[in-house]
Structure 1
Amino acid sequence: MKKFIIATRGSKLALWQSNHIKNELEKKFDGLSVELKIFKTKGDKILDTPLALIGGKGLFTKELEDAMLKGDAHIAVHSLKDVPTILPDGLILGAITKREDPRDAILSQEYTSIEDLPPNAVVGTTSLRRRMQILHIRPDLKIKDLRGNVDTRIKKLKNKEFDAIILAYAGLKRLGLLDEVKYITPIDEEIMIPAMGQAALGIECIKDDEVLNIVKSLNDEKSEIETTIERDFVDTLQGGCQVPIGVKATLLENGDIITRAVIGLPNGKELLKDKIYGTKENYKELGKELADSMIEAGAKELLKRAEEIAFKD
């Protein structure tokens, strides 16, 4: 194969991610030419509505998947947290890249942390997961929906529409924006558990042996193990990308794994947290086991109420 086509969104972060994979593939395979084709997804087109209200899964992936299934592209590079746990027939998750720092970060021109925010401060986020966890520790804060690309969100912060905003630290680092705001503080995972797959790139591809062999060269075993646990957890709960679920697996150097998870109501008034310990040898069981344990504790009923609140708000 001499020409390889990547379907991508047109945002700066999506283009960075796709160009990063393009460069890695061209370095690994002499004579391989990789081209980017840009598509707009539903999540890119609807910017005036909270993501949770748009509905459906794959808000940032479906159009890219359609392009691959039509033969217009071989692969698509996604932020793994945006990729549904069930993929369309004919497509496969071919590789998961080495993970960046998976933490969320709080950005502010005046305040250094969540604790430092004054009473009734306005915080911007699109994520029900982030909303849930920040309101649980600071119920006085005013959470305001924040849409648009990373540059747009930072501009709104600088225009004083918000006292602080919350974004993924990995995206800021990849785009070279860590000096763009006076205070950018990663939030400890004990305070805010990340989304499944956060900070890893997922390479989705057509089911073709030649394509798959090329893509698999970029797979990172540690990332694959951690994110498989996280995706199994969400899949067992049958929770989509837009419900308040946080889950983070950590593979330690000695082969032990700890996985933490949280679900709850978007208003932060009720949270259910749990964790499970395991090893590299039994990682394929851990996500389901943790989900089953939380289901026994009422997780599905809590998520149903969370969804009702999200749509009502």
Structure 2
Amino acid sequence: MKIRIATRGSKLSLIQTQKVEKFLLKKGFDVEVIKVTTKADLFLNEPLQKLGKGVFEKEVNRLVMEGNADIAVHSMKDLTSQLDPGLEVIATLKRDSPYDALVADSELFKLEKGSIIGTSSLRRKNIISFFRSDINVADIRGNIDTRLSKVKTSQYAGIIIAHASLQRLNIETKYFVFSPYDFTPEVNQGIIAIVSRKDNIEMKKVLSEIDDKETHSIAEAERTASNIIGGGCNSPFGIFFEFYDKEFHGIATFSDSKKKITVETWSRENEKISGEKLGKTLLRQMKNEGIIL
């Protein structure tokens, strides 16, 4: 039996896909990897906000919906909060580092005044400006190698990137990992997700063994909180859960260039209730501080 995997054609996406491919090959399946060029790959000079929602996923998931691929592999943070009604996340791999990292010669608080930091994320831009209003934040797009080269050639003093991306690409460079209290990560950052059709029972059975149940629960808690808040890819919110001592520990942050609001919750309830609790706690605190979206 051959299983067709749809994925973006970037180096990072293919490395993520290889983890799923190796599992399937070990189980005796034939595998075909279908590389897809997305809107985000074609318009590298456009800000992510201008490209709209789902720019990293729509074309990839379309192959699955139309029956031209059996599964799609994604960085889960790129998935919109609401998938196509016919699709679902059938498995998540064990989470890699969920944190943000600054690739630079110095820590954020030690960078020279007027330094330029590159990121295309509104969340990261706002947090940087909150902590360091005396440095400049500029958009930066392109693959990771391209972005890193701009640091090496001093076009930027540093860039903010997902720590998991540096690890997966095995990049050796100087960087500093942020605390989730300072830089609360994007929803589902560090998680690789496998998407399939809801009616494809066979794929669910095949991939159930690779599904990390704790990661899957954490992912659902974060997405539930995001839906309550109204966040999503490239929003000014960070949402993070971890499972610690049989409890869901959640951190959520709203930030703009002048204010940063961070809340924390603990819950022994299920992922849905825990996610709702975190989302509502942040909204309540924002309202208390005069911020209503």
User: TM above 0.5, one fold?
Assistant: yes
What SS is found at the alignment partner of 1:242?
coil
- Structure 1 residues 303, 59: CA separation in 2 closer, same or farther (over 3 Å shift)? farther
CA RMSD of aligned residues (A): 1.5
Query: Could you tell me whether the CA contact under 8 Å between 1:244 and 1:303 is conserved in 2?
Result: no
What SS is found at the alignment partner of 2:74?
strand
- Give the alignment partner of residue 141 of structure 2, picking from 142, 147, 159: 147
- Give the alignment partner of residue 277 of structure 2, picking from 271, 289, 298: 289
Q: CA deviation at 1:272?
A: 2.2
- Give the alignment partner of residue 158 of structure 1, picking from 143, 148, 152: 152
What are the residue-to-residue correspondences of 1:34-53 with 2, within 5 Å?
34-53=31-50
Deviations 1:225-253 (A, max 9, x none): 2111111011112222121110111111x
Aligned to 2:111: 117
TM-score, normalised on structure 2? 0.95
Q: CA deviation at 1:218?
A: 1.2
2:22 and 2:170 map into 1 onto residues whose CA distance is 18
Letter in 2 for 1:170: A
Ranges in structure 2 where 5+ consecutive residues have no aligned partner: none
Q: CA deviation at 1:294?
A: 2.5
2:278 and 2:250 map into 1 onto residues whose CA distance is 8
Deviations 1:124-179 (A, max 9, x none): 111111111122111111001110011110111112110011111111111111x1
Aligned to 1:78: 74
Query: Could you tell me whether the CA contact under 8 Å between 2:181 and 2:262 is conserved in 1?
Result: no
Ranges in structure 1 where 5+ consecutive residues have no aligned partner: 305-313
Query: Could you tell me whether the CA contact under 8 Å between 1:243 and 1:303 is conserved in 2?
Result: no
- Give the alignment partner of residue 220 of structure 1, picking from 201, 212, 231: 212
What are the residue-to-residue correspondences of 1:255-294 with 2, within 5 Å?
255-265=246-256, 268-279=257-268, 281-294=269-282
- Give the alignment partner of residue 54 of structure 1, picking from 41, 51, 54: 51
What are the residue-to-residue correspondences of 1:1-313 with 2, within 5 Å?
2-27=1-26, 29-30=27-28, 32-55=29-52, 57-108=53-104, 110-111=105-106, 113-177=107-171, 179=172, 181=173, 183-207=174-198, 208-252=200-244, 254-265=245-256, 268-279=257-268, 281-298=269-286, 302=291, 304=293
2:248 and 2:67 map into 1 onto residues whose CA distance is 39
1:76 and 1:189 map into 2 onto residues whose CA distance is 29
Aligned-pair identity in percent equals: 31
How many residues were matched structurally? 290
Aligned to 1:308: none
- Structure 1 residues 40, 190: CA separation in 2 closer, same or farther (over 3 Å shift)? same
